[in-house]
Amino acid sequence: MKDFLWGSATASYQCEGGWNEGNRAISMWDRYLHDNHLENGDVASDHYHRFEEDIRMMKEGGQNSYRFSIAWPRIIKNAEGEVNQEGVDFYNRVIDTCLKYDIEPFVTIFHWDLPDYLEQNGGWLNRQTTEAYAHYAKVCFEKFGDRVRLWTTFNEPRYYTFSGYLIGNYPPGHQDLQETVTSSYYMMLASAMAVKEFRNGGYQGQIGIVHSFSPIYGVDSTVETAIAARYAENFYNNWILDTAALGEIPGDLLAELYGRCDLSMMKPEDLELIKSYTVDFLGLNYYARVMIAPYTTGETTLIVNNKGKQAKGTSQTIIKGWFEQVRPESSQYTEWDTEIFPEGLCEGIRRVWNKYRLPVYITENGIGLYEDVTVEQVDDRQRIEFMDSHIHAVMQAKEEGCDVRGYYAWSPFDLYSWKNGTEKRYGLVAIDYEDGLKRKPKKSYYWYRDMIAQDQKN
Ligand code: FCB
């Protein structure tokens, strides 16, 4: 398929490094990881210095698009909103390098690295952050909108707010339903504000949002499970997708929250704005489905795998009184305890397309593995198998008529994986952190290149 975008995705904090270079402000992640003496992204994959080589490798790997995020702390220096020219220059170089190699830049405006000066002021619990974000987004459009045609406002607001405010395993590390609701609300309001800036500026191209998409499955077909699954669908998916695509926060979710939370921050003029500025497309990050059972007992918890790390996809979650997530037995799991369920991707695309009728991009999909990268070539056949089955699922949905326009592997090269550090590897290219950050394509890199070439013949 000629117009299909085949690419791979990164996030600024996870790949750039150069944390104190180019006049970059401190992000909330720098503060949190430094203060708690945790493995950090100070150097990460050193993409800040090696982006040219990395983008060239994407090109040589047959890819025609690169999804990356802009680091807010590189662009806006302080709470007064002053622009940092060195940060703008850096992303100009990244974008121009993409264009030189005929790689379509696909830009995420916010992938979790909030400037610390905003976090110190309440972060996404403070309405002022929405204003600061709208200003930052406008600067991005003004500086890069002449060359970037595909934008997304946020990466995974649901995952961000669940992790930071419900489960507490990401900064700021709270466990509070009210804060979860407030931060989710402000992020979705900010997303609509960015869409407004984009429309008002008359830029070419399209703007969407990226969602951590877990299609919900009920554990059985009882009425109790159907109700629990509906709560979960609202909380996991509709809260983001309905709000971004239809301009409506699901009414039954609001009705449920009404008795439990203070919703007075939801002003009528905000709801108008959300209604008026919906997105052009949906980006879905897919790792696994979520299986739901009715709530029985217990508190919101984090499920960790046998190495004590957070499992991706199967993480969490009990929402007290509403539902709980169960582990589908008899399924296959990765060594990080994520269920492998490609059918969920096809079914998920179908559901999203049938409901919203907006173009879909699979903005992340991949498998985290423990890998020995000292060998000459990592033989990552598990990754090849994983990608192959998931790409088939995407193609099936496309053949059925769903408007899917691209697929992005997470990730083009190994990255710093948040709380899982550098131990959990997702890359098509290995990075040897012990040996000068040398890049070495894994087997999957060549497999992906050949698969794309084959597809483009058709
Ligand atoms: C997603 C995030 C991304 C990366 C992958 C593995 O939730 O968007 O930053 O860590 O998971």
Residue in 316, 410, 414 to alter for ligand 1 test, most ligand atoms within 8 A of Cβ: 410
Contact 292, 219 (CB under 8 A): yes
* pLDDT number for residue 166: 84
Binned at pLDDT 50, 70 and 90, residue 330 comes out as confident
Cα separation, 414 vs 177, in Å, equals 34
131 as an active site residue: the answer is no
For residue 354, how far is its CA from the centre of ligand 1 (angstroms)?
Answer: 26
Q: Whose CA is nearest to atom 3 of ligand 1?
A: 11
Is 21 among the domain residues? yes
62-75 per-position pLDDT tens digit: 999 999 999 999 99
pLDDT of 305 > 60? The answer is no
What CA dihedral angle connects 382, 384, 387 and 390, to 10 degrees? Answer: -70
* pLDDT number for residue 437: 96
The CATH number of the domain holding residue 441 is 3.20.20.80
Helix axes 177-200 and 268-276, enclosed angle (nearest 10): 50
Of 24-33, 152-161, 299-308, the one with minimum mean pLDDT is 299-308
For residue 8, how far is its CA from the centre of ligand 1 (angstroms)?
Answer: 12
414 lines ligand 1 (CB under 6 A): no
Beta-strand pair 438-441/429-432: antiparallel
Of 47-61, 167-181, 364-378, 437-451, the one with minimum mean pLDDT is 167-181
81-105 per-position pLDDT tens digit: 999 999 999 999 999 999 999 999 9
Cα 165 from chain centroid?
17
Q: What is the pTM of this model?
A: 0.95
Q: What is the mean pLDDT of the chain?
A: 93
List C-alpha distances in Å: 271 to 58, 243, 245, 358: 41, 10, 13, 21
* pLDDT number for residue 315: 46
Amino acid identity of residue 247, one-letter, is G
Residue in 45, 416, 418, 422 to alter for ligand 1 test, most ligand atoms within 8 A of Cβ: 418
206-235 per-position pLDDT tens digit: 999 999 999 999 999 999 999 999 999 998
Closest CA to 420 of 168, 128, 169, 178: 169
Is 267 among the domain residues? yes
pLDDT of 312 > 50? The answer is no
The total number of structural domains that make up the chain: 1
* pLDDT number for residue 419: 87
255-296 per-position pLDDT tens digit: 988 888 999 999 999 999 999 999 999 999 999 999 999 988
Contact 393, 380 (CB under 8 A): no
* Better pLDDT: 197 or 324: 197
Residues forming a β-bridge with 406: 5, 361
Q: Whose CA is nearest to atom 10 of ligand 1?
A: 417
Is 324 among the domain residues? no
Is 335 among the domain residues? no
* Better pLDDT: 337 or 415: 415
Q: Which two tokens stand for residue 142?
A: 């003004």
Per-residue H/E/C for the chain = CCCCEEEEECCHHHHCCCCCCCCCCCEHHHHHHHHCCCCCCCCCCCHHHHHHHHHHHHHHCCCCEEEEECCHHHHECCCCCCECHHHHHHHHHHHHHHHHCCCEEEEEEECCCCEHHHHCCCHHHCCHHHHHHHHHHHHHHHHHCCCCCEEEEEECHHHHHHHHHHHCCCCCCCCCHHHHHHHHHHHHHHHHHHHHHHHHCCCCCEEEEEEECCCEEECCCCHHHHHHHHHHHHHHHHHHHHHHHHCCCCHHHHHHHHCCCCCCCCCHHHHHHHHHCCCCEEEEECCCCEEEEECCCCCCCCCECCCCCECCCCCCCEECCCEEEECCCCCEECCCCCEECCHHHHHHHHHHHHHHCCCEEEEECCCCECCCCCCCCCCCHHHHHHHHHHHHHHHHHHHCCCCEEEEEECCCECCCCHHHCCCCECCCEEEECCCCCEEEECHHHHHHHHHHHHHHHC
* pLDDT number for residue 140: 98
- Half-sphere exposure for 19 (CA within 13 Å, toward CB): 21
* Better pLDDT: 317 or 441: 441
pLDDT of 304 > 80? The answer is no
- % of the chain surpassing 90 pLDDT: 84
Mean pLDDT, range 326-336, rounded to an integer: 88
Is 91 among the domain residues? yes
Binned at pLDDT 50, 70 and 90, residue 306 comes out as very low
Q: Which residues span the domain enclosing 29?
A: 5-212+236-283+343-456
* pLDDT number for residue 391: 98
- What is the ipTM score, two decimals? 0.96
pLDDT of 345 > 50? The answer is yes
Is 230 among the domain residues? no
pLDDT of 137 > 90? The answer is yes
Q: Which phi and psi angles does 154 have, rounded to 5°?
A: -135, 150
109-122 per-position pLDDT tens digit: 999 999 999 999 99
For residue 323, how far is its CA from the centre of ligand 1 (angstroms)?
Answer: 24
Q: 16, 256, 364, 371: which one is catalytic?
A: 364
Is 325 among the domain residues? no
* pLDDT number for residue 167: 79
* pLDDT number for residue 89: 98
Binned at pLDDT 50, 70 and 90, residue 307 comes out as very low
Cα 187 from chain centroid?
14
* pLDDT number for residue 1: 53
Is 314 among the domain residues? no
* pLDDT number for residue 303: 43
360-413 per-position pLDDT tens digit: 999 999 999 999 999 999 999 999 999 999 999 999 999 999 999 999 999 999
